[in-house]
Structure 1
Amino acid sequence: MKKLLALMLSISLIVILIPCTFVSVSAGEVSGADQIKNIIYLIPDGGGYPLYDFANLVKVAGGFNAEKYPYKTPTDTEPMSMRAQLAGSMTTKSASSAITDSAAAGTAMATGYKSVNGYVGIDKNSVPKANLVEAAESKGMATGIISTYHWSHATPATFTAHAPSRSDEYDIYQQVENRGLEVVLGVGYGMVSQYASIQNAIDNGYTVVETKDDLLNVQPGDKIWGNVADKSYPYDVYLEETQPTLAEMTSGAITALSGDPDGFFLMVEGGKVDTGGHSNDARTTTSEYLAFDAAFKVALDFAKDRNDTVIICAPDHDTGGLVIPENPETAVAEVMEGINPTSLSWASYSHTSSNVGVWAYVPEGVSLIEGLNPDLGDTQSTRDNYVIDNTEIAPWCAALMGADLDALTEELFVKVTNIGQYNSMTRKFTFNNGDKYVFANQDEYYKDGVKIPTNGRTAMRINNDFYVPAEMVDEDDWNYVTEVDMGDGITGKGTASDPFILDDAYDFMEFTGNMLSGNKYSGKYIRQTKDIDLTLFSDYKGVNDTAVFAGVYDGYGKKIIVNISSDQNVSVFPKITGTLMNAGTLGTITTTKSGGYATGLAYYVGSGGKIVNCYSNATVRGALVGGITSYNLGLVGNCSFCGTLQSSKHITVPIGMPKSGNDEYEFLECYYLDGVGNTGLVYGTALTEAQAKTILADKLNSNRKGAAKKLGYNSTMMSYWTNENGYPELYIPVPVIDSVTVSPQSAVVDKGDGVLLTATVVGQYNPSLEVTWSIEGEVAEGTTIASDGFLVIDENETASSFGVMAKSKQDGSMAAVATITVGENTLSEPDGTRARPYLIETAEDFKALSDAIIDGNDYQGIYFRQTKNIDLTSLEGYTGIGSDKSFAGFYDGAGHSINVNIASATDECLFPPLAGTIINLGVTGSVKNIAEAGSVCKSVSEGGRIVNCWSNARVEGANPGGIASTNYGSIASCFFFGTLTATSGKASDIAVRTENSVDRNNYYIGEEYVQSSHNSSVTNAQLKDEVKEGLNIGISTMAKATGLPESSLSAWHYADGILSFCIDNKMTVDRDLLAVSLSGNTSIGTVFAALYDADGALIDVKLYPASETVDVDFDNSAEGSYIKIMWWQGNLYPMCSAETIDS
């Protein structure tokens, strides 16, 4: 949904409204804070008490066999250094669970705020919060992080970055790199080659250290970036000779950081203690805990030699739930030799909710966190009786620095979402005043073309909001007034019951950008709820071959329109390892890459991936081009390609093809236009253009249940197919009445002046239901719908209510009823949409339309509805419209006729060459010109349609046609019973030339000039029964053949020797017997009976086929209830008659 924002804010308001959920601890509340210069924060990830205790047993016993493991961290037989520093215990639950993950725990420990599992550096409401690294930097301190996992992993990320998911590694990586840390040590990771982070580190002034010797050469004040392993750091016992231990990394970091006169903050994580716990491997988790304890000793020794350094240490959680037996000696001995003992038991392979230890060192005169035991040492009393929460460490550390985390949050994260626009493809946020922009995760911005650094204070996007540090915003930004048309962002939770919703182009751009940034949406559900047009976004380049989609994308019957030109392999969707269903694409997709791939829907289908009930009608250009996809290693089912493939290497794949050496693929019931695929690369069934426009939608609809079964879904999850626009497209028929509009605006309903009102009920996805009433000026008791179909309103009333009903196009038993109140202020102007078409009520209205077409307006996509019979012969100078113009709109005669008298010296007709649609129109009078003539138009272009129309006009000219002279589109279910005079060439009762057209179920009286197997010559005697029945029965067939909603076609009836549209049917109701008698065309339509309770709530609906007599029966009526009976001709259009009675 789009929204129009009037943006005028005050900067003072923004500061005042920042929420605060805990009381900050100021420096004055921590005794001795003024003497503290350095803080070292150590975290043995997953290292709960059981793992710590067992590691201590192994150390005291002598540690790991040094001969087997020569490069491990050296150990002695003394207890672990941590034991003498235990200060208490800590709770670990997150805001979303009693069992936390490392991201939520790290966020609490780094910011002081509880968070949701998976969140990084943001609170439970997704608001970023200042962390301890940022606090230290705000005080001019040097900062560093160390981990035996990669430095964008959960725990180091929470001290350096802010993201809605720990898996957002690209965002985290960029924030870490631009944070301005003096030390980053540990492990590179698998995306290094993609993002070139090591080279970026060098460019940012870091010295890269990779070995023990590199660390030994570090000097105070050096800025170092450690990539001591490419992807995964070995467990300590498996280190190689040149690889530094965690203790050696800690020593090198302290050396580098200690050169800053303002002090430093260092976070050290033993990340793989947790890994050993997850695998229930006592060898590896003990190895890592002993290595961590050695790093703790390095920090402790440094602190004890000074009077300005504090040590705080705590695991983020316990992992595995190790249970140590009463006699652990055997297990200890086995671990020392590298054997994972079987005598140990574990509660879990995951985290537990157990409390964990807190270890500390503070110089004399400095107070510990309130609640911890100042008498340090590992006793059961200290473990049990001194317990804090994991949110209490961060504010204490900040207070030691002289920082306030809440105040810093306000300074670092100013939400500017509503004063600019974000482009998810370029990751660029542009302020509304246009003179300033910034890229996400960068510590610089541009104002008037000048780059301005912010020294480690980065801009970022969290979900749908954009945040910048305060120095990037000035008063002009808040006071700048503009109107910005922008999306409301992706909403929803990504679950099956609450999927992520994409309802505009901005959302789809964000979705695409997220995939290109590495988000696979694994296990997430996405639903597209509106057609999306991306052609206005010049920076939209589709997706390349690096992205993957592993979720469930439901296109929901909506289409995506693109105009892509890319120098990479390109498509709209990436590699599919999840499910893509009910989606369709239109437009153009081009790759300029030499040998490049371009596909109409998805790049390719990976193992286990599925593309079901989808289509592309796009033009695809490249070296190797695919209509739906390129390679299929999974399932492609019930799909259609009716676009164009243009290959520079003549390699075209209309649906997809298997990858060499892989036989785990399926192509089920897929179709494509004949001639677009190369021999040998074709999977699916080829159809001609005429078949694709007529029978293909029915074939695809018949396959829906099978497609749903393949996915394990109910068939209601599969969108329906229609060929209303020519080639098959998707839509969802749902009988939901969204809104009702009544026009014209000038109508006055409270006095009753005979003005014709048109109420349009717009179904959520089904075609419009259009019903016409006239307001009569007679007085009645209450408000009723009279038997003649007119709404009768008491002249003393200011409003009136009436019932309308919508029915699913696919399933007539699905119906919805709404009660509509029409009042003086509820009337709205027509706007040319299907819901509110422009009304043609007079000859002057039609001439105004003709004049606009002559002036060059082809009215593409604009809807018109004629409300009365019109006589154009009363207009002086009306001569029709010439063939140099075109009409591409939708004209519904609504069962009415136009009387013309056109005599032209050129080629004018009632309508110009038709690229749009004309339905339900009758033509009388005469059309005469010297060129090709037709009573409706000269010609029907490809894609144009004349359906359910009649003419008894006199047509004269070269090659005259009763309906049109030439048909390249569709003329169907039409009837001509006028006269033809050919001044030259040939004449035809329907059309002279019918090339590549749909020309069927048409009737005419008289000589057959042009043979057509689809058109029939008849006599006057046949009109009453055969022709009337043929045209009425053909409504359903022609609706399918031409793609028009069946409900839009008027029914036919015979009266007084004339065959015309059914617009005068009558219904009478015997109120006592509830018997309905129909007159007129009694075989057309449906009788609806709706039962309401006394309060107007719908109780029940029953549907009956129209016949001369219909008996209505409800067995669940109650006192005060009433029944509305309505007769709808055709398939709900228009209403013949209605009546309300008490039950």
Structure 2
Amino acid sequence: MFERMRKNATAVAVSTCLTLVATSAFAGWDYDHPRNNARSGNLKNAIIMIPDGCNEAIQTLARWYKGDSLHVDLMQPGTVKTHMANSVIAGSAAAGTSVATGHKTTVRFLGVGPRENDLLTALEPTAAPYAPIANIMEAAQREGKSVGLVATSRITHATPAAFGVHIHNRGWDNEIMEHLVYNNFDVVLGGGARHLLPQGELYTTAFGAEWAGSRADGENLMDELLERGYQFVDNKDDLWSISSGKVWGLFNASHMQPDIDREYFAPTEPSLAEMTAKAIEILSQNPKGFVLMVEGSQVDWAGHNNDPIYMVTDFLAFDEAVGVAKEFAKNDRKTLVMAYPDHNTGGMTIGHYTTAVGYTATKVEDLIDPLKGMTTTANGVIARMYDGSDFALAQSVRDNWSIELSDEDIAEIRALQPSVGLSYALARTVSKNHTVIGWTTHGHTGETVPLWMVGTPAPSRVIDNTELAYIAANAIGVDLDRTTQELFVDLDEVTSNYTIDTRDPANPVVMVGGAALPVSKDYMIKNNEIIQLPGLTVYAPVTGKVYVSRQAIKELDLNKKRGQRGVFPAMVVR
């Protein structure tokens, strides 16, 4: 009997897992794809580092600006394709999902399969539409490793969210924060504290600032973190005092400040390198290893802004964080460090149509001197204007950028301002008229991007960004596809005898097998007992499907009840 039950359970597991088609970005079997050539590596840790929105152009500019080699210059190079499921030019959510899970998805989607009605020509999806797919953090947790996220954006922003959530809209910051909290990261450092707190509640920081909550569901996730044993800090001094244990450090209600602006506008915030060092210090205490994702979030925003000083200083701040990771890996000798942009932004060039000097006569001084006089970003220049007049604009540019705006410059800025805003207009005009740095767009671009690696050889060919997830997973011996099968079983494939209680629309609950499974949380309530689960209960509102872990199915004893499918149709309680 027990053997028959075991075989039945195995059959259910096989039938319920997602069909994860092993392909490259386009149709056909790729024998070189890491998923198809998987070998568990002998490394213990992986540090994944993403300078969001850039390519080799900023690497070149940063090297000239610094006057020395960069940390990424001394890593093994590679090249990565960046397209997403529905566009040759990727968005950050879809690009982040590719490198976190190994699967292409649609613009704005995070950790779920792509929609099917607008796929790129010849692209075959490798995950079911809107279905959750496991990321490398979840796979690492299954092997007992510690996991962490570091970013200079809100921690709910697209790239960090791609490593921790399963939601089809990157704009749902409150829902994203709920996934992050209940996905049990060991270390989370960045911005976005407002998404922990209910609307109407204030949090007073250790340095006296008040942050207002933004959650509409009434949940206080900061209290939840404290109940789960986390330490919470809001400034760099308190962060530095922590030496062990689980920690969330959120240093701004929203995004953190750009690196060059921090001393003026947020001196209590740590740098990206400081956050990286602290995360490694804490995570590396786990003898089974760790996975850490570090994002230089605002390199991308600088590209959107066409702001060269913002972009070069935030890239250099990212490079310093890379140096921290490389130093740890050098001493540890069991750590993979992978750094790569998710896409390019702004299309920055060294040289442009209106460069004042001939391009073959461009000196280092022509490139660097205009930037050396800049002490803040374009946003910082505007924040330091004493009023909105042309005179105040010219004065702030003179004081903060050491540039004299002409009447023609100001007229050009004001003409652009209604369409792109003052900050974009200022940076774009000054770049064109006072530097040799050009830009092609305020958006993303679709070319390949560089890969920098330490700990294992970089691929000797151009690879797809989905391969990065499998390279990292294989290096540290974790299994992405198996984790998807274990954490995200389509409940309809097991039973139809369940309901989704939406009487509180912000907090839906799946009612099944005499138990309640709150959506976006990692536990069930059965017989008045809270049972911890290994992953989230995920509800996909577009398809109406619910996904639960195999452990949840076992706890609910559903494997023996498959014959009831169709007898008690699933319904939504309203």
- Short-chain TM bin: 0.7 to 0.9
| Structure 2 residue 73 is the aligned partner of structure 1 residue 88 | no
Superposition map of 1:730-809 within 5 A = none
Q: Max radius of gyration: which structure?
A: 1
What is the CA–CA distance in structure 2 between the aligned matches of 1:486 and 1:206, rounded to whole Å?
38
Decide which of 544, 547, 560 is 1:467's aligned counterpart: 547
Deviation at 1:109, TM superposition (A): 0.3
Alignment check: 8 A CA contact 1:218 1:255 kept: no
Is the counterpart of residue 311 in structure 1 residue 337 in structure 2? Answer: yes
Q: 1:13 to 1:200 in 2, by over 3 A?
A: closer
* 2:404 corresponding residue in structure 1: none
Higher strand share: 1
Partner of 2:439: 346
Aligned partners of 1:446 and 1:113: how far apart in 2?
33
In structure 1, the residue matched to 2:258 is 235
Shift of the alpha carbon at 1:486?
A: 4.8
Structure 2 stretches of 5 or more lacking a match?
A: 1-7, 24-32, 115-128, 198-212, 352-358, 375-400, 402-426
The 8 Å contact of residues 432 and 477 in structure 1, kept in 2 or not, is answered as no
Residues 1019-1057 of structure 1 show CA distances to partners (whole Å, capped at 9, x for unaligned) of: xxxxxxxxxxxxxxxxxxxxxxxxxxxxxxxxxxxxxxx
| Whole-angstrom distance in 1 between the partners of 2:331 and 2:512 | 55
Structure 2: which amino acid aligns with 1:22?
A
Report the Cα distance in structure 2 between the residues aligned to 1:242 and 1:170, rounded to whole angstroms. 25
**2:170 paired residue among 156, 163, 166:** 166
SS at match of 2:466: coil
2:532 equivalent to 1:453: yes
SS at match of 1:445: strand
Q: Distance in 1 between matches of 2:523 and 2:344?
A: 39
Alignment partners' CA distance in 2, 1:331 and 1:25: 41
Native 8 Å contact 1:120 1:162 kept in 2: yes
Q: Give runs of aligned pairs for residues 629-668 of structure 1, distance below 5 A.
A: none
Contact 1:419/1:478, CA 8 A, preserved across alignment: no
> 1:361-372 to 2 correspondence within 5 Å?
361-362=454-455, 367-368=456-457, 372=459
SS in 2 for 1:467: strand
Q: Is the 8 A contact 1:209 1:215 kept in 2?
A: yes
Structure ranking higher in helix proportion = 2
- Tell me the secondary structure at the aligned position of residue 189 of structure 2: strand
Partner letter of residue 245 of structure 2? D
Distance 1:291 1:126, change over 3 A: same
1:40 correspondence with 2:47: yes
Give the aligned partner of residue 770 of structure 1. none
Of 399, 416, 432, 2:491 maps to: 416
Give the superposition deviation at 1:26: 7.0
Question: 1:207 offset after TM fit, Å?
Answer: 1.0
- Measured after TM superposition, the shift of residue 28 of structure 1 is 8.6
- Please report how far the alpha carbon of residue 10 of structure 1 lies from its aligned counterpart in structure 2 after TM superposition: 7.7
User: What is the 5 A alignment of 1:466-485?
Assistant: 466-473=546-553, 474=557, 475-480=559-564, 483-485=567-569
Q: 1:28 to 1:388 in 2, by over 3 A?
A: closer
User: How far does residue 419 in structure 1 lie from its aligned partner after superposition?
Assistant: 3.8
Distance 1:322 1:486, change over 3 A: same
Who is 2:137 aligned against?
133
Q: Which one-letter code corresponds to 1:452 in the other structure?
A: I
Question: Within the alignment, does 1:279 sit opposite 2:363 as a pair?
Answer: no
Contact 2:147 2:283 in 1 (8 A): yes
SS at the partner of 1:391?
helix
Residue 105 of structure 1: which of 95, 112, 126 is its match?
Answer: 95
1:773 corresponds to: none
Match of residue 213, structure 1, among 227, 237, 251: 237
Q: Distance between the aligned counterparts of 2:533 and 2:469, measured in 1?
A: 24
Instruction: Give, in angstroms, the shift of residue 297 of structure 1.
Output: 0.3
What is the SS of the residue equivalent to 2:161? Answer: helix
- In 1, the alpha carbon distance for the partners of 2:368 and 2:339 equals 25
Q: 2:509 & 2:9 partners in 1: Cα distance?
A: 20
Are the aligned partners of 1:10 and 1:479 in contact in 2 as well (CA < 8 Å)? no
Measure the CA separation in 1 of the matches of 2:469 and 2:184: 20
Q: Which ranges in structure 1 are unaligned for 5 or more consecutive residues?
A: 1-8, 61-77, 374-385, 488-505, 507-536, 541-1143
Q: Distance in 1 between matches of 2:567 and 2:511?
A: 12
Highest relative contact order (Cα 8 Å, sep 6+), 1 or 2?
A: 2
List per-residue Cα deviations over 1:395-418 (Å, max 9, x = no partner).
Answer: 121112322211111111011143
Shift of 1:199: 3.2
**Aligned-partner SS, 1:392:** helix
The amino acid of 1:224's aligned partner reads: V
Distance 2:140 2:130 in 1: 23
Residue 451 of structure 1 deviates from its aligned partner by 1.1
How far off its partner does 1:106 sit? 0.4
**Alignment partner of 2:486: what SS?**
helix
1:266 aligned counterpart, secondary structure: strand
1:189 deviation in Å? 4.5
- Secondary structure (helix, strand or coil) at the match of 1:239 reads helix
Aligned AA (1:103): A
Distance in 1 between the 2:9 and 2:230 partners? Answer: 41
Hey, what does 1:332 align to over in structure 2? 368
Residues 106, 323 of structure 1: alpha-carbon distance in 2 compared, 3 angstrom cutoff: same
- The equivalent residue for 1:1111 is none
Q: Deviations over 1:924-945 (max 9, x none)?
A: xxxxxxxxxxxxxxxxxxxxxx
State the match for 1:355 in structure 2.
Answer: 448
Opposite residue 469 of structure 1, the aligned amino acid is S
State whether structure 2 residue 65 is matched by structure 1 residue 58: yes
Structure 1 residues 105 and 430, CA gap change in structure 2 (3 angstroms): closer
Amino acid at match of 1:171: E
Deviation at 1:310, TM superposition (A): 0.9
Matches within 5 A, 1:1045-1124: none
How far is 1:30 from its partner?
4.2
Partners of 2:510 and 2:519 within 8 A in 1: no
Q: CA deviation at 1:49?
A: 1.7
SS where residue 483 of structure 1 aligns? coil
Whether contact under 8 Å (2:39, 2:477) holds in the other structure is no
TM-score, with length taken from structure 2: 0.73
Of 277, 286, 296, which residue of structure 1 is paired with 2:322? 296
What letter is aligned with 1:271?
A: S
Aligned-partner residue type, residue 522 of structure 2: D
Residues 899-910 of structure 1 correspond to what in structure 2 (within 5 A)?
Answer: none
Distance in 1 separating the partners of 2:320 and 2:473 = 26
Q: CA deviation at 1:274?
A: 0.3
Report how far residue 278 of structure 1 moved. 0.5
TM-aligned CA deviation for residue 170 of structure 1: 2.4
The verdict on how the C-alpha distance between 1:485 and 1:237 changes in structure 2, with shifts beyond 3 A counting, is same
Asked whether the 8 Å contact 1:215–1:248 carries over to 2, the reply is: no
* Residue among 208, 222, 226 paired with 1:198: 222
Deviation of 1:211 after TM superposition, in Å, equals: 2.4
Deviation at 1:100, TM superposition (A): 0.5
Aligned pairs, how many? 442
Secondary structure of the structure 2 residue equivalent to 1:146: strand
Quote the residue 2:152 is aligned against. 148
- Partners of 1:467 and 1:29 lie apart in 2 by 27
- Asked if structure 2 preserves the Cα contact closer than 8 Å seen for 1:27 and 1:399, the reply is no
Question: Contact 1:40–1:265 at 8 Å: present in 2 too?
Answer: yes
Q: CA RMSD in A?
A: 2.2
2 CA distance for matches of 1:354 and 1:184? 31
Q: Is the 8 A contact 1:44 1:271 kept in 2?
A: yes
Residue 479 of structure 1 deviates from its aligned partner by 3.9
**CA deviation map 1:1088-1129 (0-9, x unaligned):** xxxxxxxxxxxxxxxxxxxxxxxxxxxxxxxxxxxxxxxxxx
Task: Tell whether the 8 Å contact from 1:26 to 1:404 is kept in structure 2 after alignment.
Answer: no
Contact persistence 1:414–1:468 (CA under 8 A)? yes
Measured at CA, do residues 391 and 423 of structure 1 come closer, stay the same or move farther in structure 2, by a change above 3 Å? same
Give the letter for the 2:322 counterpart. Answer: F
Which amino acid letter does the alignment assign opposite residue 451 of structure 1? I
Does the CA contact (< 8 Å) of 1:419 and 1:477 recur in 2? no
